[in-house]
Amino acid sequence: LPPTISHLLAHPPLPIHSTTVSGWIRSIRKQKNLAFAVITDGSAPQGLQVVFLKGLDLQKLTNGASVRVTGRLVQSPGSGQSHELLVDQADAGRVAVLGECNPDTYPIQKQELSIEHLRDNVHLRARTSHIAAMLRLRDRLQRQINSWFEEQGFCYANTPVITGNDAEGAGEAFRLAMVESQHPASASATPPAEFFSRPAFLTVSHQLHLEALATAISRVYTLSPCFRAEKSMTGRHLAEFWMLEAEWAFPADNGVHGVCDLTEALLKETTAPLLDSPDLRVLWKDGDAHKLKTLSDAVNSEKPWARMSYSEAIEELSKIHPSQNFVHTPVWGHALQSEHERWLAETLVGGPVFVTDYPASLKPFYMRLNSDERTVACFDLLVPHVGELIGGSVREERVELLSKKMEDVPGSEWYLDLRKYGGAPHAGFGMGFERLISWVSGVDNIRECIPMPRWAGRMLL
């Protein structure tokens, strides 16, 4: 493949060589004998300035058109860019319009476009510099995460998306159905049947399947799509999102704090190296300086992040409630609401905080019961401006306790087998990848942290 604009800017060829770039016109300014355009191929945040000298037919060069141009890459006299491409007919410069674009109807206009307009044009919005930067950030972060897990001896595993369980038991799973015309009943006299002879769902979490693999190859993780019929229409919930999930057997014996340690190291070591990336400079807005400082203080700090138990959190929240006037009164035994989570991270701590040891009644069956018999060895990591980023726990490995908790969970035998046959202490966590992108990029709504967001009432393509 020919070099991308990013390749060319990283290793600019000498101007004596003719250089060809292909991409889309992001902006163009035509003067009498001269035209300036910025061409982007999405490989770098900045695009390439192209200067068209006289004698070329520039009529079809409009915003959004796809072009291939050949010219000389020279150092730019302007301050906005290091290099620019000079295209001059006399110099055997060439311009080919590969795909025309009507500038009057093109939905991606040069002026700032509203978030809603871009969501309505989700098929074209990756042409904007923000969404393109988010796509590259997702890619970079995934690579960082993959090498981090590799160094820790984890194996990347592919778990199923179609499943028979609702791992979280929250009743938010999408159920699968066959398309009517392909239904075997319409072609034969066979009575209608489930394709799998049992109800099938899109997975809400890969945890349970990862546990089966962790109790065989010890350290596994996946970054995979999860699906939830979420009723909450917030900026932190999608119907299809990606979750980074890890499970490992034989943890160092320090209970839930060992799990917190691992996720803290993961986040610090994978995000800190990205903070000065040019894509983040595109994504952070001017008003975000304070957010950026809290983030960079957190991920660059050698000090461990704050930790408090759920009971301590409720105590702090109750103390402040009279002056803070939360909509929901903080009460032990009730879930923390997002207003509580945000106050803990943003106001009380001013950075990430692990809240540990929630009441067993609030959490799913798989979390390990503490010796007080009313809380479980779990945590939620709360971060400023996002709220809950990670949930994790030590897993219940004691088969008697677990089978009692799973009495009402259908099809749980295989999960109990993992304990019955060589059960091993193990732990794990799940992190919403779009929420991580939102935290790192300062982008408020996770609908702008995934290429094609889906939420209740919205699935355009």
Q: Which residues bind Mg ion (CB under 5 A)?
A: 391
What is the smallest separation between the CB atom of 276 and ligand 4AD, expressed in angstroms? 25
**Which residues, in sequence order, are bridge partners of residue 49?**
38, 84
**Contact partner, 390, from ligand 4AD, Mg ion, none, Cβ < 5-8 Å per class:** ligand 4AD
Q: How far is the CB of 392 from Mg ion (least distance, A)?
A: 9
Q: How far is CA 270 from CA 79, 144, 297, 448, in A?
A: 33, 5, 14, 21
Neighbours of 69 (CB within 10 A): 24
For residue 288 the two structure tokens come to 């975000």
Q: Taking the complex as a whole, how short is the minimal distance between the CB of residue 135 and ligand 4AD, in angstroms?
A: 18
DSSP state letter for 349: I
Beta carbon nearer to ligand 4AD, 4 or 142:
142
Task: Give 288: exposed, middle or buried? Use CB within 10 Å, 0-12, 13-18, 19+.
Answer: middle
Residue among 125 and 236 whose Cβ is closer to Mg ion? 236
Nearer to ligand 4AD, 168 or 448 (CB): 168
Binding site for ligand 4AD (CB under 6 A): 167-168, 205, 207, 228, 230, 237-238, 241, 243, 245, 388-392, 428-432, 434-435
- Give the Cα-Cα-Cα angle 364, 367, 372 (nearest 5 degrees): 110
Q: Which residue is nearest to Mg ion (CB)?
A: 391
Q: Given the complex with ligand 4AD, which of 61 and 208 has the nearer CB atom? A: 208
CB burial string 26-60: b at 16+ within 10 A, e below = bebeeeeeebebbbbbbbbbbbbbbbbbeebebee
Tell me which of Mg ion, ligand 4AD, none is bound by residue 237, counting a contact when its beta carbon lies within the kind-specific cut-off of 5 to 8 angstroms.
ligand 4AD
- Provide Rg for the chain, Cα atoms: 27
Listed in sequence order, the residues at least 6 apart from 139 whose beta carbon sits closer than 8 Å to its beta carbon are none
- Taking the complex as a whole, the smallest distance from the CB of residue 435 to Mg ion amounts, in Å, to 11
- C-beta separation of 425 from 400 below 8 A: no
Q: Which residues of 189-207 are buried (b: 16+ CB within 10 A; e: fewer)?
A: eeeeeeeeeeebbbbbbbb
| Binding at 330: pick from Mg ion, ligand 4AD, none (beta carbon under 5-8 Å per type) | none
Report how far Cα 5 is from the mean position of its chain's Cα atoms: 26
| Residue number, 93 or 430, with CB nearest to ligand 4AD | 430
Q: Which is nearer to ligand 4AD, 101 or 243 (CB)?
A: 243
Q: How far is the CB of 352 from ligand 4AD (least distance, A)?
A: 13
Amino acid at 202: L
CB of 175 to Mg ion, least distance (A): 22
CB of 260 to ligand 4AD, least distance (A): 13
What does DSSP say about strands 18-30 and 66-75: parallel, antiparallel, or unpaired? Answer: antiparallel
Q: Which does 392 bind (CB under 5 to 8 A by kind): Mg ion, ligand 4AD, none?
A: ligand 4AD
Which C-beta is closer to ligand 4AD: that of 86 or that of 367? 367
Minimum distance from CB of 167 to ligand 4AD (Å)? 5
The H-assigned helical ranges of 22-82 are: none
Closer CB to ligand 4AD, residue 71 or residue 391? 391
